[in-house]
C-alpha cells in the first residue's frame, strides 16, 4: 500500500496549467494566441480557481522558485515571462516546470 499525499490548491492549479498546455498548446510572447494556446502564465491564469489573483501569484512564485529564480530581486511574474519566452524553450520544458513546481507544495 502506498501513501498518497494531498495536493494544496496551488499544486492543483499548476497541474491543471500543465494539462491546459498539453491540451490546447503552448505559445511565447503573449498570454494567449489566436488559437487559444497559452504561455506558462496564461495557463496558470486559465487554471486558477475562479481566476483568483492570490492563487495566480502563489503559482507564479512557486514556478519561479522551482526554476531557481531569485524572486527577492525581481518579480516572479517577470521571471517566468522571460523564462517562457527564451529562444529555444520548448512546450515540454514548460509542462515539466509546471509539474515540478506542483510537487514542491
Which of 8-12, 53-57, 99-103 is modeled with the greatest confidence? 99-103
What is the length of the chain? 105
Which pLDDT score is estimated for 96? 98
In degrees to the nearest 10, what's the CA dihedral of 39, 40, 46, 49?
A: -170
Q: Are 96 and 21 in contact (CB under 8 A)?
A: no
pTM reported for the whole predicted model: 0.88
User: Per-residue pLDDT averaged across 82-88, rounded?
Assistant: 96
Percent over 90 (pLDDT), the chain = 67
Q: Where are the domains of the chain?
A: 9-102
- Residue of 21, 22, 78 lying closest to 46 (CA atoms): 21
Cα angle, residue 50 at apex, residues 44 and 53 outer, rounded to 5°: 60
pLDDT in tens, 24-45: 999 999 999 999 999 999 999 9
Amino acid at each position: 500500500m502506498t501513501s498518497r499525499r494531498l495536493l494544496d490548491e496551488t499544486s492543483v492549479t499548476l497541474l491543471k496549467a500543465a494539462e491546459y498546455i498539453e491540451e490546447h498548446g503552448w505559445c511565447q510572447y503573449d498570454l494567449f494566441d489566436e488559437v487559444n494556446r497559452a504561455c506558462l502564465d496564461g495557463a496558470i491564469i486559465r487554471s486558477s480557481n475562479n481566476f483568483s489573483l492570490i492563487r495566480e501569484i502563489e503559482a507564479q512564485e512557486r514556478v519561479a522558485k522551482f526554476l531557481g529564480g531569485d524572486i527577492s530581486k525581481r518579480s516572479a511574474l517577470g521571471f517566468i515571462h522571460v523564462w517562457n519566452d527564451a529562444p529555444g524553450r520548448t512546450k515540454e520544458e514548460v509542462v515539466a516546470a509546471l509539474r515540478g513546481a506542483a510537487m514542491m507544495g
